[in-house]
């Protein structure tokens, strides 16, 4: 799915929710490094107990078709922009504070798309998409 189509789908979903403010869903996007597909309960883990994630998956939507790059910065860039990692952040490794590279300020992120339709957004945890202008 290309970036434009991804953003259009998000806008359509968000706009449908704006029509009925009480029905506006919360979005919680979780990106975890080094997590295997079946490492949490909603995807079949019998080893790791994840009751809160299990409940979130049961009561909300569980996305089952996705792509992740082998390191965190490209995966985060793809998640935030809807672009393939090589397109959004053409570097192969992890970005640390002070790296010259980073996500271009010209990229449109999912947070910006959601803000346009009345959502408040936040990030908790590491960013690893660059910190330089």
- Cα separation of 41 and 72, whole Å? 22
Catalytic residue among 17, 52, 83, 128: 128
Q: Alpha-carbon torsion 79, 34, 54, 46, what sign?
A: positive
> What pLDDT was estimated at residue 112?
94
pLDDT per residue, tens digit, the chain (133 aa), is 444 444 444 444 544 544 455 677 887 888 887 788 889 999 999 999 999 999 999 988 887 877 677 788 888 888 889 888 887 777 768 888 888 888 888 899 999 999 999 999 998 888 888 887 7
Q: Residue 105 domain-assigned? A: yes
Nearest in space to 6 (alpha carbons), one of 83, 107, 77 = 83
> What pLDDT was estimated at residue 6?
44
> What pLDDT was estimated at residue 132?
79
Q: Residues with Cβ < 8 Å from 40, sequence gap 6 or more?
A: 48, 50, 53, 54
Active-site annotation holds for 52 = no
Number of domains in the chain: 1
Q: Residue 133 domain-assigned? A: no
82 neighbors 116 (Cβ within 8 angstroms): no
> What pLDDT was estimated at residue 111?
92
Helix intervals (H) in 1-109 = 3-19, 51-59, 72-81, 85-88
Q: Residue 71 domain-assigned? A: yes
Q: Residue 88 domain-assigned? A: yes
Catalytic residue among 17, 52, 72, 83: 72
Q: Residue 82 domain-assigned? A: yes
| 0.95 exceeded by pTM | no
> What pLDDT was estimated at residue 20?
53
41 neighbors 48 (Cβ within 8 angstroms): yes
Active-site annotation holds for 83 = no
Q: What's the start-to-end Cα distance of the chain, in Å?
A: 29
């Amino acid at each position: 799915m290309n970036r434009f189509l991804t953003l259009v789908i998000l806008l359509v979903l968000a706009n449908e929710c704006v029509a009925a403010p009480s029905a506006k869903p919360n979005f919680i996007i979780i990106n975890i490094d080094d997590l295997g597909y079946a490492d949490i309960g909603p995807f079949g883990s019998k080893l790791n107990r994840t009751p809160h994630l299990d409940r979130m998956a049961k009561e909300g939507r569980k996305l089952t078709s996705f792509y992740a790059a082998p390191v965190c910065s490209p995966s985060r860039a793809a998640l935030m922009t809807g672009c393939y990692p090589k397109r959004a952040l053409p570097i192969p490794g992890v970005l640390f504070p002070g790296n010259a590279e980073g996500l271009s300020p010209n990229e449109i992120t999912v947070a910006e798309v959601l803000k346009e339709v009345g959502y408040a957004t936040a990030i908790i945890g590491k960013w690893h998409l660059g910190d330089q202008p």
